[in-house]
Chains A and B, each alone.
Chain A
Amino acid sequence: TQLLEQSPQFLSIQEGENLTVYCNSSSVFSSLQWYRQEPGEGPVLLVTVVTGGEVKKLKRLTFQFGDARKDSSLHITAAQPGDTGLYLCAGARGRNAGGTSYGKLTFGQGTILTVHP
C-alpha cells in the first residue's frame, strides 16, 4: 500500500493549459517536498512546505500544503513544453510514540506530465 497517493499518474496537455497534481495520505507529515525529474537524471527539489495551509509560489507553479498536513497539491498555470517531466511528492514524518524515524522519506508514485506545443 502506497503511503502517499499521487494523482493523476499521467497527464498529457496542450501548451497554455492549467493543471493540478495531487498528493494525498491518511498520515500526517512534518514536511512535504515536491521534486521534478527529467529522463536520465535524478530528481531536483522544487519546494518544501512545512506548515499546514502553507502556499508557496515558484513562477507559474503554486504549491499548497493541506491544513491537516496530510495532503498537498501542485498547480501549474499556462503550462509550457519545458514543464514536461516526472513530478514527485515526498513526505517526511517526525518521530512519534510508534518509533517512526525522522530520517524516513516516502515518495508518491509520480505524475508523468507531457506538455505538447
Chain B
Amino acid sequence: EAQVTQNPRYLITVTGKKLTVTCSQNMNHEYMSWYRQDPGLGLRQIYYSMNVEVTDKGDVPEGYKVSRKEKRNFPLILESPSPNQTSLYFCASSLLGGGAAEQFFGPGTRLTVL
C-alpha cells in the first residue's frame, strides 16, 4: 500500500531533550516536506527536500533540523525542544516539488514539550 508513515504518533517530552520524528514513504517520491499544524494557523512548512541531499527552509525552520540521506526517509530533528514546539506535525511527500503534484500526508505526530 502506498503510504507515508511517521513515528512516533504521540510523544510527550521535556524541554531540552533531543528527539527525532521519523518519516518514510514507499512511493519513490522526489519531494518531501515537514509541516506543523497549530489551531488558527493552518499548516506551516518547516523544511522541505526536493531530492536526496537537497533540503531547504520553509517558513518556520527555527529550532528544527532535517536530513535526506536516502530518498524514502526524511527525519525531523529537534535538538533542544521547547514548549513552543508543542504541535501536531505532518510529513508529506509528492512526485514533484511543492504545488506541482499531489502531496500525500502521513497520519501526524502529536508532540507535547513540557
User: Which residues of A line the B interface, CB within 8 A?
Assistant: 2, 4, 6, 9, 29-33, 40-45, 48, 88, 90-92, 101-110
Contacts and interface: CB of A to CB of B under 8 A. Distances in A.
A108 B37 CA distance: 11
Contacts of A30: 99
Interface in B35-50: 35, 40-45, 48-50
Interface size bracket, B side: 20 to 34
A45 B102 contact: yes
B105 A9 contact: no
A102 B97 contact: yes
21 contacts: A4-B42, A6-B42, A31-B100, A33-B102, A40-B107, A41-B105, A42-B90, A42-B105, A44-B105, A45-B102, A48-B102, A88-B42, A90-B99, A102-B98, A103-B49, A103-B98, A104-B48, A105-B58, A105-B103, A107-B44, A109-B41
Interface of B is mostly: strand
Contacts of B48: 103-105
Contacts of B49: 103
Interface of B: 4, 31, 33, 35, 40-45, 48-50, 56, 58-59, 90, 92, 97-103, 105-108
Nearest to B105: A42
- Interface pairs A-B: 5 shortest CB-CB: A92-B99, A42-B105, A105-B98, A107-B43, A107-B42
A9 B40 contact: yes
A33 B104 CA distance: 13
Contact of A104 (B40, B59, B92, B106): B59
Contacts of B108: 40-42
B3 to A, nearest CB: 10
Nearest to B43: A107
Contacts of B40: 9, 109
Contacts of B102: 33, 45, 48
